[in-house]
């Protein structure tokens, strides 16, 4: 990677993706605005980054395609428009050398954003790894889903599972090798998901494993794996990864999630690894929140991911520029 490209990583590009129809409960359309209101852009600026807010993505000018929608994929046509628009925008943002942060919106946005990012990194000779912080595996397909909600198909689509081949239209598909996909914090899965995950041998750290071994050991395992293959890392953070007592403002709460301290430790370790080149934060539903608690927590966690510390510690992050 060129020296000039690394210098550009002091820049952060923020893009809101107000999609809500991938989930069963409406409200995530307000997520990007809530994260901005909670001070995300200002916080990143105080950490030394040059932050450009690209506003919210719009699909008003995207035409519908003529492919036959698959069965059991609710709101397929509209999500197809979001995915086509976002994968192109994500690719361009990554090419610019900035660090893209996508503000959701439900988790269907990752089908577009991660695909575009993976395409870029493959072109420059490095593979993109994804760590998926989520209470759910999101590894259903139209053939296995019990609900038809497409936010539960995002991870499966990104790893190349069949059933949504037309989702990108004419945009290139850059699937993530299942060996480069890391599920973290899962505590709710359908049986067909379990079967697929086992067949694909996808790495999964569920809450039992987190309780038994601790966040630090498991995050270090991911970091070492990415470094060993000279990869880069995308952090996909679904706020329902957190326990509902910490983050009530999500539509799919599952008891027994990560604590505030565990989540911050994970973000700080990922920052110190110097591997993170993009992120998304998804499933914030301000309609369900309590006086902005979940939005503020999300902002604080993104701050930790990009270098915010309570005290200065002798970690690798002290020896580099922000986002280098």
Which position among 75, 107, 120, 271 bears the catalytic label? 107
Is 151 labeled as catalytic in the residue annotation?
Answer: yes
Is 234 labeled as catalytic in the residue annotation?
Answer: no
Which position among 20, 106, 120, 138 bears the catalytic label? 138
Residue-wise over 64-80: b if at least 16 C-beta within 10 A, else e? Answer: ebeeebbebbbbbebbb
Which position among 75, 120, 151, 234 bears the catalytic label? 151
Determine contact, residues 248/289, Cβ cutoff 8 Å: yes
Which position among 106, 283, 289, 300 bears the catalytic label? 283
Residues facing 186 on adjacent strands: 206
Task: Report how far Cα 85 is from the mean position of its chain's Cα atoms.
Answer: 17
Task: Report how far Cα 298 is from the mean position of its chain's Cα atoms.
Answer: 12
Task: Report how far Cα 300 is from the mean position of its chain's Cα atoms.
Answer: 16
Distance CA 202, CA 156 (A): 11
Distance CA 110, CA 139 (A): 13
Burial class (CB in 10 A: 0-12, 13-18, 19+), 46: exposed
Which position among 136, 234, 264, 271 bears the catalytic label? 136
Is 238 labeled as catalytic in the residue annotation?
Answer: yes
Is 138 labeled as catalytic in the residue annotation?
Answer: yes
Is 280 labeled as catalytic in the residue annotation?
Answer: no
Which position among 20, 238, 268, 280 bears the catalytic label? 238
Is 283 labeled as catalytic in the residue annotation?
Answer: yes
Which position among 20, 75, 106, 134 bears the catalytic label? 134
Which position among 106, 182, 240, 272 bears the catalytic label? 240
* Residues with catalytic roles: 107, 134, 136, 138, 151, 238, 240, 283
């Amino acid at each position: 990677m060129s020296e000039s490209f690394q210098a550009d990583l002091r820049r952060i590009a923020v893009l809101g993706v107000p999609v809500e129809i991938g989930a069963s409960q409406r409200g995530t359309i307000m997520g990007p605005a809530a994260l901005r209101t909670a001070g995300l852009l200002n916080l990143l600026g105080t950490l030394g980054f040059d932050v450009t807010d690209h506003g919210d993505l719009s699909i008003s000018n995207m035409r519908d395609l003529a492919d036959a929608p698959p069965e059991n994929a609710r709101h397929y046509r509209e999500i197809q428009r979001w995915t086509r628009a976002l994968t192109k925008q994500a690719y361009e943002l990554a090419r610019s050398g900035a660090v893209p942060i996508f503000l959701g919106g439900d988790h269907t946005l990752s089908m577009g954003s991660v695909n575009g990012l993976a395409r870029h990194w493959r072109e420059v000779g490095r593979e993109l790894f994804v760590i998926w912080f989520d209470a759910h595996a999101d590894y259903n397909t139209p053939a296995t889903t019990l609900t038809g909600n497409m936010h539960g198909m995002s991870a499966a689509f990104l790893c190349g599972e069949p059933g949504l081949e037309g989702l990108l239209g004419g945009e290139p598909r850059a699937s993530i090798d299942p060996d480069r996909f890391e599920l973290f914090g899962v505590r709710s899965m359908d049986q067909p998901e379990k079967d697929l995950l086992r067949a694909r041998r996808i790495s999964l750290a569920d809450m039992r494993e987190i309780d038994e071994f601790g966040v630090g050991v498991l995050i270090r395992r991911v970091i070492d794996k990415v470094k060993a293959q000279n990869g880069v890392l995308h952090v996909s953070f679904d706020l329902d990864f957190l326990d509902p007592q910490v983050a009530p403002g999500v539509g799919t709460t599952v008891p027994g999630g990560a604590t505030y301290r565990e989540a911050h430790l994970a973000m700080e370790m990922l920052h110190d690894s110097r591997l993170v080149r993009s992120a998304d934060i998804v499933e914030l539903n301000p309609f369900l929140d309590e006086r902005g608690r979940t939005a503020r927590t999300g902002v604080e966690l993104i701050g930790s991911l990009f270098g915010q510390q309570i005290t200065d510690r002798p970690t690798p992050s002290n020896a580099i520029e922000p986002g280098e």
